[in-house]
């Protein structure tokens, strides 16, 4: 199939007489075949089906030519319905002399652009001049073809927000349409979907495939992401696609290890959601988290690493020399070694209404996806660390105002000095210290929040439709329960942290002590934010991923 971006605009002709249909298509191709694609149909219903498919694929239709006397559907009836699918296409009715009165009436019924009398030999005199004029009129103001994936959903739908976030973080270009917008209604109609909560969002791929309320796995498969490991056994399986995981996969594959990286949502982790990273080595002008992690992803693939998406690890099992990772669908993948780089997730706010409005005005780490919708709005960002500061700076480009809600007395305790300086110099950002959000209020979406002073207990209600939350990190390690030692907060203990009073615990099965990043299970390593006492910085996570691969080699040499 042709690439969507290079497909030609369409000239569609419909006639129930096969001979006439072939004749029209032949004349069209002879004159316009270099610049246009000719599609022909033998009936009105079949032509409408073709138009729906073209619309779902994002193709342009320049001219519709319909014979009037067709048994299933007249040409006028066809053009009347085709207007709803391609309102800007030029409409031409093919008719016999006896039907000229009908054709004239059709000018008002379907806003007919022209009618042609059959036969029109020679076409150079009677057919092509008419089509030339119609195409000239169409090309003067051609509609823009939309070849990206299309998402149709409710503006305040949590799942619609999740789908948009998934596509954005996986670098899949998409176009968003509200279900109550004219374009959204047309897409739902041609897709045969209803505008209700059970069917939305509807996703239309670049090839015209319609996905109704798809899961992340279904979405990933349709947009070309790998969702299943190609092998059952690897030298190294990396769990998590943040900076540490990408680094481990890159170095593992580049050094000859059969390597698979498994990620539940999108590569990049929390770093991938950062609008700007300015203190990463080698990027003096800064780099977005998406740019940095996308380069790392491509680099890992270049060296032969396999990246498997939308698989959620639920258990780790030891099977002799093999380490087995089980996924939520019951499937497993085995390897000699495993690097746990599953990272952390933003902790959720607690309080009345907050959970119910998540994805409908309350967002966790979605600043990049939702920023364009915040134009001239009053925005609230909860958190006092770098992720909150970066989000506030990015949102301030669009918003009327951004308020940073911070529990601490100042930003000095958790935010980098360079970022504090930027926040303080930004006229659109104000910092509200000793404060927390205790309630969210709204019907179908957020309308206001309740702020509480952590010192006095005094509360204040403020109007806002946008709350972005960046409050600390909870490790994604419950799947390791009962297998790998973790600290009281759920972070993975490794290396020196496993020692008890300087000695290896009795549960450690080998004569040697654990390597620096090795967990309580030999051959299983931890890297990045998921590890207890890690630095929680992109640079250190990248370094730990590379170091973990060095220790993997050392472990494999002893097998």
Answer with the one of 472, 505, 532 that is the final residue of a domain: 472
Question: Does residue 511 form part of some domain?
Answer: yes
DSSP class of 480:
G
Q: Are residues 123 and 54 part of one domain?
A: yes
Neighbours of 121 (CB within 10 A): 11
Q: Are residues 131 and 23 part of one domain?
A: yes
Q: Are residues 320 and 417 part of one domain?
A: no
Q: Are residues 210 and 155 part of one domain?
A: yes
Q: What is the structure's pLDDT at 116?
A: 85
Q: Are residues 278 and 205 part of one domain?
A: no
Domain at 454, CATH number: 3.50.50.60
Pairing of strands 332-340, 435-441: unpaired
Q: Which two tokens stand for residue 495?
A: 């290396």
Question: Does residue 227 form part of some domain?
Answer: no
Neighbours of 205 (CB within 10 A): 21
CB 473 within 8 A of CB 529: yes
Q: Which two tokens stand for residue 325?
A: 């990772």
Domain at 102, CATH number: 3.40.50.2300
Digit-by-digit pLDDT tens for the chain (559 residues) are 455 546 899 999 999 998 889 999 999 999 999 999 999 999 999 999 999 999 998 899 999 999 988 888 998 899 989 988 998 899 998 887 656 676 666 666 667 888 888 777 888 988 999 999 999 999 998 877 777 899 999 988 899 999 999 998 998 889 999 999 999 999 999 998 887 767 899 999 988 899 999 999 999 999 889 999 999 999 999 999 999 999 999 999 999 999 999 999 999 998 888 888 888 999 988 888 888 999 999 999 999 999 999 999 999 999 999 999 999 999 999 999 999 999 998 899 999 999 999 999 999 987 778 888 899 999 999 999 999 999 999 999 989 999 999 999 999 989 999 999 999 999 999 999 999 999 999 998 999 999 999 999 999 999 999 999 999 788 999 999 999 999 999 999 999 999 887 788 888 999 999 999 999 999 999 999 999 999 988 999 999 999 999 999 999 999 8
Q: At what angle do helices 243-254 and 538-557 cross, to 10 degrees?
A: 40
Structural domain tally of the chain?
4
Question: Does residue 279 form part of some domain?
Answer: yes
Please tell me the distance from the alpha carbon of residue 160 to that of residue 168, in angstroms, as a whole number.
12
The DSSP-derived string for 182-237 is HHHHHHHHHHT--SSTTT-SEEE-TT--EEES--HHHHHHHTT---S-S-SEEEEE
Q: Which two tokens stand for residue 76?
A: 């006028």
Q: Are residues 528 and 505 part of one domain?
A: yes
**Which residues constitute the domain of residue 506?**
233-343+476-557
Q: What is the structure's pLDDT at 108?
A: 64
Q: Are residues 302 and 334 part of one domain?
A: yes
Please tell me the distance from the alpha carbon of residue 86 to that of residue 148, in angstroms, as a whole number.
18
Question: Does residue 128 form part of some domain?
Answer: yes
Q: Are residues 108 and 16 part of one domain?
A: yes
């Amino acid at each position: 199939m042709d690439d969507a971006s290079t497909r030609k605009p369409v000239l569609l002709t419909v006639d129930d007489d096969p001979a006439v249909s072939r004749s029209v298509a032949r004349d069209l191709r002879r004159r316009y075949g270099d610049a246009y694609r000719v599609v022909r149909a033998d009936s009105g219903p079949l032509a409408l089906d073709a138009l729906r498919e073209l619309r779902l694929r994002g193709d342009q239709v320049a001219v519709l030519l319909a014979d009037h006397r067709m048994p299933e559907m007249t040409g006028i009836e066809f053009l009347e319905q085709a207007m709803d699918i391609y309102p800007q296409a030029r409409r031409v009715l093919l008719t016999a002399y006896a039907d000229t009165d009908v054709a004239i009436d059709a000018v008002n019924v379907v806003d007919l652009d022209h009618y042609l009398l059959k036969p029109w030999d020679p076409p150079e005199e009677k057919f092509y001049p008419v089509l030339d004029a119609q195409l000239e009129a169409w090309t003067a103001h051609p509609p823009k073809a939309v070849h990206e994936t299309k998402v149709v959903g409710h503006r305040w739908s949590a799942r619609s927000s999740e789908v948009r976030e998934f596509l954005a973080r996986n670098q899949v270009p998409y176009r968003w349409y509200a279900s109550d917008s004219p374009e959204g209604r047309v897409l739902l109609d041609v897709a045969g979907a209803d505008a209700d909560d059970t069917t939305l969002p509807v996703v239309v791929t670049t090839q015209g495939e319609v996905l109704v309320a798809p899961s992340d796995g279904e979405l990933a498969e349709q947009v070309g992401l790998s969702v299943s490991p190609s092998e059952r056994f690897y030298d190294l399986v990396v769990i998590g696609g943040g900076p540490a995981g990408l680094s481990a996969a890159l170095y593992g594959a580049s050094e000859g290890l059969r390597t698979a990286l498994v990620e539940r949502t999108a590569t990049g982790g929390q770093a991938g959601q950062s609008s700007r990273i300015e203190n990463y080595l080698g990027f003096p002008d800064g780099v977005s988290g998406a740019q940095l992690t996308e380069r790392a992803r491509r680099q890992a693939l270049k060296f032969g690493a396999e990246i498997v998406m939308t698989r959620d690890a639920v258990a780790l099992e030891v099977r002799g020399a093999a380490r087995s990772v089980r996924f939520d669908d019951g499937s497993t993948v085995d390897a000699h070694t495993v690097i746990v780089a599953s990272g952390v997730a933003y902790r959720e706010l607690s309080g009345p209404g907050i959970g119910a409005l998540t994805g409908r005005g309350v967002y966790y780490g979605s600043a990049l996806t939702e920023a364009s919708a915040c134009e001239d709005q009053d925005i609230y960002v909860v958190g006092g660390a770098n992720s909150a500061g970066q989000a506030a700076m990015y949102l301030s480009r669009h918003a009327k105002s951004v308020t940073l809600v911070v529990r601490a007395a100042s930003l000095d305790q958790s935010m980098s000095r360079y970022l504090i300086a930027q926040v303080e110099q930004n006229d659109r950002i104000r910092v509200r210290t000793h404060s927390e959000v205790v309630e969210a209020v709204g019907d179908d979406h957020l309308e206001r929040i309740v702020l509480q002073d952590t010192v006095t207990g005094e509360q204040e209600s403020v109007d806002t439709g946008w709350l972005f939350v960046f409050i600390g990190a909870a490790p994604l390690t419950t799947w390791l329960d009962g297998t790998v030692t973790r600290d009281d907060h759920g972070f993975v203990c490794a290396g020196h942290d496993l020692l008890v009073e300087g000695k290896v615990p009795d549960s450690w099965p080998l004569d040697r002590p654990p390597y620096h990043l090795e967990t309580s299970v030999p051959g299983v390593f931890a890297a990045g934010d998921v590890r207890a006492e890690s630095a929680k910085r992109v640079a250190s996570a990248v370094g730990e991923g590379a170091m973990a691969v060095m220790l993997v080699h050392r472990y494999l040499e002893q097998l």
